[in-house]
Structure 1
Amino acid sequence: MATIESYSTAAGKRYMVRYRTPDRASTKKRGFKTKRDAEAFAATVEVEKLTGSYVAPALGRITVEELAPDWLARKESDVAPSNYRTLETAWRVHVQPRWGRARVADVELARVEQWIAQIQRDETDADGEVIKKGAGATVVIRAYGVLAGILDDAVKSRRLASNPARGVENLPRKLTKRHVYLSAEDVGRLADESGAHRPLVLTLAYTGLRWGELVALRVRDVEFLRRRLTVHDNAVQLGVDHAVGRTKSRRTRSVPVPEFILDELSVQCRGKGPDDLVFPGPDGSYLPRPKSDGGWFAGAVKRAKVQAITPHDLRHTTASLSVSAGVNVLALARMLGHTSAKVTLDTYADLFDSDLDAVAKSLHARYSPPPVPKVCPNGTE
C-alpha cells in the first residue's frame, strides 16, 4: 500500500506519496499541497494497479516530437504517397510548432480544443484587415488527426492511460461540394473542343476513371475483346513528378468500356507496345494534370460553353449518365471502384431522387385496391 509523508519547503508544508509500481519497484511522487490531494493520488494509483491501467509517470515525459518519427514512418508505408505528403505537411506546419516539445502527459483536451480554434481563426492587422486566413476544415481535421494518431501510439506503448486528444467537440465539418453533371451532348462538345485530348475526355466521361488511374493506363490494360479496362495503378502528381502506386481502394478492378470509346482508344494505342502509356505526356512520361486556369482543359470548357468543371467532375458525369441509362447500382459501384454500393448511393444520392417517384408509382400499380363504383341516390350506378 502507498504511504504518505510530509516534508517542509520554503513555500510551506508539502506531502509525498511513496508506492510500488506493478513490477514491485519502489517510487514516489512529491509536491502535493494538501494531505487530501496526496491521499487521492495514492488511492488512484492503487485502483490503476488493480485494473491494469497504471502508467508510470516517467514514461509520459517523452515529447510529441520524439514519438512523431515512428508514427510518420509507419504512415509512409501504409498510405499513398500523395496522402503521406499531406500528413507530413500537417505535422510540420501545424502540429510540431504547437505540440512538438510538449510532453505527452501534459497534453489536455481543453488545450487541444483551443489549438483547433486558433488554427481556424483569421489573422488580422491593426486595422482589422485579414492578413492570413485561417485553415479550412480539411486542413484542421487532418492536423488534428496527426496529433491524435501520435498520442494513440503513446497509449499503445503504455506511456498514457488514455488519449487526451480524443473527444474534442469543436472539429469543423467538411462542406460537401456540389456535383457537376454534364449531359451526353455537353460531353460531346467538350471532347470536340479538346483537340488531341478528345479520346482522353471521352474516356474520363464514360468510364469514371480518376485522373491518376487514367494517365497510368498502359496499352496492355485495354482489353478490346472483352471491352474492359484493367485498372490497377494510380499515378499521383507530386509537384512536377509522379508517384505511382495502387488505386485508391488498393484493388484491381475491371471497368466496362462502350464500343465507341474503344474505337477512340484503338487509334490512341496504334503503333504502341504493350507497356507504353495510353495517354503519355509530351516527353513520353506521365501526362501532367491540366492547369486549372489557362490549361487546355479550362480552354475547352470555355469554348464548349458547358458548366465550369474539372477533369474529376467527369467521373461524376459517368455516374449520372450510367444512372440515366439504367445501370445497376452494384455494377456502378464496381465500375467506379467504390468499396460498396452504399458509398455509391451516399455519394450520388441526388441522382436517385427520381427512383423514389418510380417506387410510389410501382406500389400504386401493384397494390392499389380496385376503384369503388359510384352509386347514385336512386340506386343506379
Structure 2
Amino acid sequence: MTASDVTGAFVDPSRGRVTISSIADVWLQTPSWTESTRARNRSIVGTYIIPRWGSVRVDRVAYETVQAWVNELSLTLAPTTVHKVAGVLRSILRVAVKSRRIAVNPASDLELPRPKVKARRYLDACQVESLAEAADEHSLLVYVLAYTGLRFGELAGLQVANVDLMRRRFRVERSVTEVNGALVYSSPKDHQRRSVPYPAFLDDEIRALVSGRSLEAPLFTSPLGGVLRSRNVRRDWFDLAAKIAGVEGLTPHELRHTAASMAISAGATPLGVQRMLGHEKASVTLDVYSDLFDSDLDDVSNRMGALRSKASEGKMRAI
C-alpha cells in the first residue's frame, strides 16, 4: 500500500463502495456528446446496465462475472449490439478508474462475439437515375444525396444562406437529428464544417430553390414546409421509390456510400473524397471504403511489373 501510494497507484478501498448506477449517472452527463448519442447511451444503460449491474458496488465487479454476462447476452443479441452494450459498461467503469474508485477496469479485454460483416451496397449512376425517376418530384433530394455524399441530417440542416451559387457549393455548418420525436441541431459529425460541391446539372434546380427565399429558411423542406425527418421521408416516398427502382431496402445513408463509390470511380483521390464526406482524416476514408480502392492494387502490380520489364530490357542491352 505504501509503494502504491508513492507511485500514485493506490486506491482507497472505501471509495469503491459506490454502485454502478451512481457512476453511470455521472457518465451520462458527458458534455461532449450530441443529443442523439446521449439518448442512445441512456437507452442502453436503462435497458441492459441498470437491471444487471445498477445495485452492484464497483469494487465487486469481477472480470469473469462480466465475461459471463457478455456470453449470456451473445445468445440473444446481435454481435454489434453486444459490442455496444459491453462498450457502455466499459466506459462507465473507466470513470470509476479515473476517479480512483477501482484500480483496474474489469470490463477491459473482454472476449466479444465477432460482428458479421454486412456487404455495403453502392448504386451505379444508372441505378441512381432509376431511383430519381421513381422519386418523381423528390428527385432533387436523391441527386443531392447521391452526388454530394451529405449525411441526411446535414442535408436537412442546410439553409438557403448555405448555398454558394457562384461556386456551386453547399456550406455544411450544422446537422439536425430527430431524437425521441424532437429535432436537435448540432455541429456536423466530427465537427467537420466543410464546403461540398454539387454538379452542374443541379445548378438550375438549386437556383430556383433559393430564389426569393429568406436566408434563414431550410433549403429542403417537407411537403408542409417543415424540416425534413428521415423517418417521414422513408415512410412517405423513399422506401417505395427504392422498391420501384429495384433497390428495395435501400436507406438514404447508402446514397452517401454511393457518392463515395462514384467519386472514386471518377478518379477522385482519397483526400478529395475525405474532404467531400467530412471525414476527420483521409485514413478514415481509406478504412471505411478500402474495398473501393482495390483497383489501386492492380495499378501497383502493373507498375511493379513495368519496373521489372524495364530492368530486364536494360540488362539485355548491356549484354
TM-score w.r.t. length of structure 1: 0.77
The alignment partner of 1:73 has SS state of coil
| 2:276 alignment partner in structure 1 | 335
> Alpha-carbon deviation of 1:137?
2.4
| 1:57 alignment partner in structure 2 | 13
| 2:93 alignment partner in structure 1 | 151
Change (3 A) 1:222 1:370: same
Could you report, residue by residue, the CA deviation over 1:277-310 in whole angstroms, capped at 9, with x for unpaired residues? Answer: 1111233221121469754111111222346421
Could you report, residue by residue, the CA deviation over 1:122-176 in whole angstroms, capped at 9, with x for unpaired residues? Answer: xxxxxxxxxxxx22223222222222222222222221122222222x2223333
Distance of 1:360 and 1:47 partners within structure 2: 57
The alignment partner of 1:237 has SS state of strand
| 1:48 alignment partner in structure 2 | 4
Could you report, residue by residue, the CA deviation over 1:308-359 in whole angstroms, capped at 9, with x for unpaired residues? Answer: 4211111111111111111121011110011111111121122111222222
Residue 105 (1) aligns with residue 59 (2): yes
Residue 84 (1) aligns with residue 25 (2): no
Gaps in structure 2 of 5+ consecutive residues = none
> Alpha-carbon deviation of 1:276?
0.8
Higher normalized helix content (fraction of residues): 2
Structure with the greater alpha carbon radius of gyration: 1
The alignment partner of 1:275 has SS state of coil
Q: Which has the higher contact order (CA 8 A, sep 6+)?
A: 2
Bigger mean CA deviation after superposition, 298-307 or 217-226: 298-307
The alignment partner of 1:312 has SS state of helix
Change (3 A) 1:293 1:227: closer
Map 1:188-207 to 2 at 5 A: 188-207=129-148
| 2:313 alignment partner in structure 1 | 370
Map 1:220-235 to 2 at 5 A: 220-235=161-176
- Report % sequence identity: 39
Contact 1:319 1:332 in 2 (8 A): yes
Distance of 1:167 and 1:268 partners within structure 2: 53
Distance of 2:248 and 2:86 partners within structure 1: 35
Distance of 1:49 and 1:327 partners within structure 2: 56
Contact 1:290 1:296 in 2 (8 A): no
TM-score w.r.t. length of structure 2: 0.91
Distance of 1:85 and 1:256 partners within structure 2: 32
Change (3 A) 1:325 1:158: same
Could you report, residue by residue, the CA deviation over 1:235-278 in whole angstroms, capped at 9, with x for unpaired residues? Answer: 11224322110111112111111111222222222332111111
Distance of 1:341 and 1:273 partners within structure 2: 36
Which AA in structure 1 matches 2:217? D
> Alpha-carbon deviation of 1:360?
2.5
> Alpha-carbon deviation of 1:56?
2.0
Change (3 A) 1:290 1:66: closer
Pick one of 64, 68, 81 that aligns with 2:24: 68
> Alpha-carbon deviation of 1:221?
0.8
Contact 2:159 2:218 in 1 (8 A): yes
Q: How many residues align?
A: 314
Distance of 2:79 and 2:189 partners within structure 1: 22
Instruction: Output the aligned Cα RMSD.
Output: 2.1
> Alpha-carbon deviation of 1:179?
1.4
Higher normalized strand content (fraction of residues): 1
Pick one of 132, 135, 142 that aligns with 2:77: 135
